[in-house]
Every structure is written in C-alpha cells, then in structure tokens.
Structure 1
Amino acid sequence: MMNDVLGLILGGGKGNRLYPLTQKRSKPAVPLAGKYRLIDIPISNCLNAGIQKIAILTQFNSVSLHRHISNTYRRDIFTPGWIEILAAEQTPRSSAWYQGTADAVRQQLVEIRNARTKYVLILAGDHLYQMDYQKFVQFHVDTNADITLAVQPVNAAVAPELGILKRNPDGEIVHFKEKPKTEELSGLESLPGTPNPFMASMGIYVFTTELLLDLLNSPGDDFGKDLIPASLGIRRVMGYVFEGYWADIGTIRRFYEVNLELASPSRPFDFNNPAQPIYTHPRFLPPCEVYGSTLDQVLLTDGCCISNATITNSVIGLRSIIRPKAVVKDSIIMGADYYESREEREKNAQLGRPDIGIGEESIIESALVDKNARIGKKVQINYLPNRPDSDGDCWVVRDGLVIIPKGAIIPDNTVI
C-alpha cells in the first residue's frame, strides 16, 4: 500500500519565529541535535515506512536545504521511486509565491498527478517525532476517510498556538479551530478532566488524491485555516491519535528546549533506534578529541576538539572547537561547516579575528551559537532572567536567549 502513497513535505516557510537561525537558511534546514537537520525527520519517517515517492516543496532561503537533500538522499537506478525538490516557480497558471500550505500544494498539482499515487501524505518540515506512517495511512483506509489528520492531546498552555479540534465517539472530527484564543477554548475539550484536555492537529494529513485535487479547486490558501474547517460535515474527516513524542519546533525558545531535552539522560526522543533510523548527510569526520575536560549531560557530535574545558547540559555540534578554560553551560553550539587551515588561522590572526569556535577562558551560558561563529578569548555571554528581545552588532536576543548568528565575530573580552 505504501507504494501507492506520495509523501509531500512542506518546507517553504520563512520561519520568522526562528530568526536569526533562518536568516541564511530555510526552517527545515536548521540544524538539530548537533548533526541532523529538521528536514531529516519527515524524510526518514517516510523511508522507514516504505514510501518511495517523496517530494519537498521549497521556496524561501532554500539553497542550503537543496544542497543537503541532494547530498544526502541519493537514489540509484535500481531503487524504485524518487526524492525530489519542487521549488516555487512562475508558470502560465501562477506567477506568485506560495501563499500558504494549501496554495503550495495547489501550485504543484501537475507533479502530484504525475506521481500517480492513490494517496497523498502531507507533512511539515519542522517537527520532531517518529511515526509509523503505514499505520496512519491504514487508519485512513480502514475508516473510509476522505481526509485524516494526525492529532495529539495537549494542554491549555500550548493550545492557542495550534489547530484545536473535537472528535465524536467514532473518531470523526466535528469541530476545528485554528489557533483559538484562550477565551475560545471553552467547549473544545476532548478529554475533560485530564492534564491534556485538548486535541491538536499535528499538521500531518492523508488525502485520497482525487479528493485532494477536487478540494484544491475551492478557495483558500491554508489547510488548517481554510480547507479543513470547510470540509467538516461535508467530507468524512477523521482524527488519528498519535501518542508518541512530538515537538513543533516553531520558536527559538522551543528549539532551545527541545535540543537540551535531547542531551538529557531521560530524553523523550531517542535517535538511537536501529529499527527506525534517522538519516542525514554522511560526513566521514574524524573522532572527537577531548583533553583534560569535564563534560556532564552533553550531546557530543562528530569531529570536535575540546581542551581543558567545562561543558554541562549542552549540545556540541559538528567540528566544534572549544579551547582551554572555556565554560559552556545550558547552551547549543552548532559547530562549523569546515575546519580552518593553518594559513587561514594565520591570516585571521593578522586581521585580528578569532578562529572559528569558542576562545580560551570564554563563558557561554544559555546561548545558541550558530555555525562558523568566532568567539574570542575571555568572552562572557551571561544568563539574565527576563532579558528583553534586542539586536546587537553581532548578536541577537530572542525569547530571553542570546543567539550568535552564523559566521558572526565576537571580539576578545566582549560581555553580553
């Protein structure tokens, strides 16, 4: 049955709430857990479920995403199916950018028809979870559904950020409200009296292809705001309850929290699952080198060099260089895209620029340091409660966290 499913991953949004991590890349290309990218999650779930036809819709800051996909997911001539990129483009039918989730799919109807599958599985490119899509699609078939949404119980604190729905005893969705205000939540409880009384859409849908093509002839640019609510009572719209771990990584704060959860011994999501591996670009990096250092609750990835440093509750990304007497606490260090040569370091020294990595005696606390950043000696990035959003010359504060953008230079002795 999964050979008859097209996996369609939406990866074209601006990701404004993840700025500045999305300043030079699209949201699905943002690094995750030190060595992966967000797009690896839905692609891996598709491959593990036996879906052979996978398309990624891209639009904004998409170069690094395209590069990652082309370098990572190569199919040979003996493998059925394909993994392809469907970029926003001007055509005789449309000259506009994607205007929303439904409009993005609408603009690729020709490719969807050409896939010649009976079902279309629509996925988000910025979530962390492991789902057996085969069970999801089988539920869609067994319940004779026109549309099936993956749903999950959530609490009142996060409900206003999501699409909240209500199911009848048969599992059919009878009410749907996209991002309701707190005062609008009354009456939407699906599980009253429980810690998670509301049922939220995960932004994951299964459509019968013919119905999807017909539905997209209707007005509306977004599935959650327009097409799904308009289908209630007219189509059979079912809710498939997913009880595993799921994180919508839509904000800087949530990105930070999810990554640090992955460094915890009691992490809710485990990448070490041989039955359902998460794939990413194979880089063939050298082993990590750690000398005279103290590391506690650290997610340490490939190719790092750490000398006489202290690191706690942090994620240390690929090719990270952390120099003597540095302290890293409650932080995400994304590492680097390359190693600097001796000639490059000598040239940087002449220009007064620090090397890529964390300099000697620097203290990094509650921060996100993006790739290729240069943190000088004796730099202090301090945790300040209730720190307001602000923009410095080479740093940004969002959601109370200091973010050092990709390629930024922080001179020696800087205090943030």
Structure 2
Amino acid sequence: MINDSVLAIILGGGQGSRLYPLTQKRSKPAVPIAGKYRLVDIPISNCINSDIKRMFVLTQFNSASLNRHIKNTYHFSFFSSAFVDVLAAEQTIGSEEWFQGTADAVRQSMHHFLSHDFEYALILSGDQLYQMDFNDMIERHKKSGAEISIATLPVNAKDATSFGILKTDDNSMISSFIEKPNTEALQGWESVVSEEMFKDGRHYLASMGIYIFNKDLLVKLMDEPDTVDFGKEIIPQSIDKYKTFSYQYEGYWTDIGNIDSFFEANLGLTDDIPQFNLYDSHKRIYTNARILPTSKITGTLLYKAVIADGCIIHADKIERSVIGIRSRIGKESVVINCYMMGSDDYESLKFIDDNNIEIYMGIGERCFIKNAILDKNSRIGDDVVIDGSKHHEDVETDSYVIRDQIVVVKKGATIASGTII
C-alpha cells in the first residue's frame, strides 16, 4: 500500500564538515551507522513503515557511494509507483549554482517533484536517528487545517539553547519562533506539553527539522528566490503568514550531525534497553540485504557489544562497542568504547600474498583500542595503542583525526604496528 498523497523529500545536507573525516569520501547520508546501516536508511525506513514510498534524496557532495547504496538496497515492485531517487545538485537553465541551503535545494529540484501528483510534501533531514509514524503527523496536519506542520520535541531549559524554539497556543498552533536562545531569553517561551513531559521539566518545544507543507504553499514559497534555508528563513517568516501546526513527538530523537553525537548514538545501541530500538518488528530499519556468513568469535569476553554479520574475532575483550560487518580482530586485543565500521570486502590469503600485504584490514594482535571510531577498510597493525580519552586537544594527521577525545581512523587508513596514539 502506498500513500499517494505524500511525497517525501530527504535533505542530504551539505559538505558535512561537522562529521569530518567520516564525510571526507562520502556524503553525510551515506555514513555507516549501527554496524550495518547507513544514515539515509533511517528516514527512508520511517517512510516505508508509514506507507510513504515515493522519496527523493537531495545531495551534492561525494554522492557516488550513496547512489550505489540506494540502487542496491531499495527495489520495489515493477508494477508499483514506489521509488527512492537521489537528486544531486545539477546545472539547469534556471540555475547554474550548487544548493545554497535546504530551501534552495528543494527550489532547484522542484521540477522533479512537480512531475508527480501529491498533496503534501514531507521534508526530512538525512542526519537524525529516530523512529516516527508519519501517518499520525499527516492526519493531525489535515485535521488542524494547517498549511505547514513542524515536528517538535519537548526539551528542558538546558537543551533548549541548542535548538530553534517554537511557542504554541492552546490549539498547538505555532505563534512565534526564536533561534538558539540563551537561558535568559527563554523566559516566557514555555508551551503546553503533556503531563509526563511537564513533570520531566521539558517545557519548551524544539524544532526537529521535520516539516509537512501543503503542495500549493510549497510551490508558492519556492517562487521566492531570496530564501535559501527552511530553519533560518522559511519557517520563521511563515509563522505569521500561514497556519502552522506543532506536532509534538515524545519518542527518542537525536541529531547526529557531529562526531561526538554520532559516537554516543552508536554506542548507545549497546545499552541493555537502547533508546533507539532496532528490534521492533513494526518499525524495521531497512538496509542493503548483503549475503554474509554468521560471525565467528573465539575466546572473547563480550560485554555490552553489538556484533554485525560476517566478523572473525579472536580478541580478549570487547566492551561497550559496535563491531561492523566483516570486521576482523586479532588475538589478545582489547576494544573498549569503540565503533568499528568494518570492511567492504574480505581479503583472501591469495590476495594478501599476491599483493604483499603486511597489515590486514581490521585490528591486529595485542592491540588496545579505546574511545575510537575506525572507519571502513582501515588497517590497524599489531601492538597498536589508541586511547582517545588521553587526548584533550583536537589533532589531524593523514591517517586519523582526534575530536572531543575520540580518535577517528580515516577510511582505508593504515596504522603501523607498534603505533601509540
């Protein structure tokens, strides 16, 4: 079943500098998460679970791997109107510029959207972790008679300073907006929230960057070329002119746009009851259906570990870590507080001999790795020590970056045996 009244537009973001070096060779939506998924799988899966199966993903930087992932993953019936298409920035007669912001990306792509019939445009971010039933938001949008709906998250005063905060009336209609207010400016910006949220001190409504626009209004707004961003311009300027509804969401949601939040979101999956539930059969997260063997683990103490398919592990201990597909970890190694993304392929013994490879993909023997992200296809030699918790200054080298006491080994990088970071 397909909801033919809704067209989903997923914003892939710009260069993704806050997630560098994970975005050095790939676009932000293509960054691997949770050991086997990609960031773009989250909004796409939420759409599929909500019967919204016509989706565009807008991007302009390093989009080759994203194109490949979507092409290999999302196949619908030949007789269905369902699709997931990637739209990269392109020069047209109307514009020779790259996307200047989120609204400009939609504006430049409007001719693609308008070739489809729809009543509502669902605009989503490509760098958030959450599970939402968009059908409920769409129905509330219709019943309210709104022209724009914004998904909002109740937050406390401390967190409110990091978001755009919306003020609503008793009917959940948005009356005003303030961008990242300081603590003093928050006075008077409380909104009506549920009793549970109120008791938890979450009195303020933060914009989640998830919008519904009536088609006619979106077309009208996109005819105004001076506005380039939804959060900074379109939404604040529209509140006084158009009926704007606040859809309150009380589930788990996090913006994983920087290294620290990305790291914590992944390690949070190792909790006994993680806030982001990958095990809900009604809210599945879809991804490329790789044909991989089961993981093989020998003599390893596992504590709060998430292990993806196809791994070969001989480590002494893995603690509070996510180990991605096809990962290899050698004997006597210890891995703590790490996200290891894994590898794209296996290296056969013949390939290793033919190419004189001395350091294999994965983690070698007798290594100690803590507070680190190991990007895809990285090679860690024997007797390597990587401990992000001992670094208080940000550093960048050819093979790794240190951000917020997290060591990020770059994609395909090699760390020589005996190295101490």
Normalised by the size of structure 1, how large is the TM-score? 0.96
Aligned-residue offset at 1:335: 0.6
The answer (yes or no) to whether the contact 1:2–1:134 under 8 Å persists in 2 is: no
Aligned-residue offset at 1:194: 4.7
Aligned-residue offset at 1:159: 2.5
1:37 maps to which residue? 38
The answer (yes or no) to whether the contact 2:166–2:174 under 8 Å persists in 1 is: yes
Question: Does 2:104 correspond to 1:103?
Answer: yes
The answer (yes or no) to whether the contact 1:20–1:403 under 8 Å persists in 2 is: yes
The aligned amino acid for 1:257 is: E
1:344 maps to which residue? 351
- Which ranges in structure 1 are unaligned for 5 or more consecutive residues? none
Question: Does 2:212 correspond to 1:206?
Answer: yes
| DSSP 3-state at the match of 1:329 | strand
| DSSP 3-state at the match of 2:352 | helix
1:305 maps to which residue? 312
Question: Does 2:278 correspond to 1:277?
Answer: no
The answer (yes or no) to whether the contact 1:20–1:396 under 8 Å persists in 2 is: yes
| DSSP 3-state at the match of 1:226 | helix
388 and 197 in structure 1: CA distance in 2 versus 1, 3 angstrom threshold: farther
Of 259, 284, 307, 2:266 maps to: 259
- Deviations 1:362-390 (Å, cap 9, x if unpaired)? 00001111110000000001243561111
Aligned-residue offset at 1:87: 1.5
After TM superposition, the runs of 4+ consecutive aligned structure 1 residues lying more than 4 A away are 191-194
- Deviations 1:137-185 (Å, cap 9, x if unpaired)? 0010000001000000122333233221111111011111233344433
1:327 maps to which residue? 334
The aligned amino acid for 2:367 is: S
Of 379, 384, 396, 2:384 maps to: 379
2:408 maps to which residue? 403
The answer (yes or no) to whether the contact 2:167–2:175 under 8 Å persists in 1 is: yes
The answer (yes or no) to whether the contact 2:149–2:211 under 8 Å persists in 1 is: yes
The answer (yes or no) to whether the contact 2:388–2:402 under 8 Å persists in 1 is: no
Q: Structure 2 CA distance, aligned partners of 1:60 and 1:308?
A: 37
- Deviations 1:228-258 (Å, cap 9, x if unpaired)? 1111121001100011111111110001111
Q: Structure 2 CA distance, aligned partners of 1:202 and 1:308?
A: 40
Q: Structure 1 CA distance, aligned partners of 2:79 and 2:16?
A: 37
Aligned-residue offset at 1:110: 1.0
Q: Structure 1 CA distance, aligned partners of 2:392 and 2:83?
A: 47
Q: Structure 2 CA distance, aligned partners of 1:7 and 1:107?
A: 16
Aligned-residue offset at 1:109: 1.3
1:363 maps to which residue? 368
How many residues are paired up? 414
2:203 maps to which residue? 197
Counterparts of 1:102-251 in structure 2, within 5 Å, are 102-190=103-191, 194-218=200-224, 219-251=226-258
Q: Structure 1 CA distance, aligned partners of 2:412 and 2:183?
A: 40
Larger CA deviation: 181-190 vs 168-177: 181-190
- Deviations 1:113-143 (Å, cap 9, x if unpaired)? 1111011000011111111111010010000
| DSSP 3-state at the match of 2:61 | coil
Aligned-residue offset at 1:197: 2.6
The aligned amino acid for 2:20 is: Y
Q: Percent same amino acid among aligned pairs?
A: 46
Q: Structure 1 CA distance, aligned partners of 2:74 and 2:292?
A: 19
398 and 189 in structure 1: CA distance in 2 versus 1, 3 angstrom threshold: same
1:314 maps to which residue? 321
2:95 maps to which residue? 94
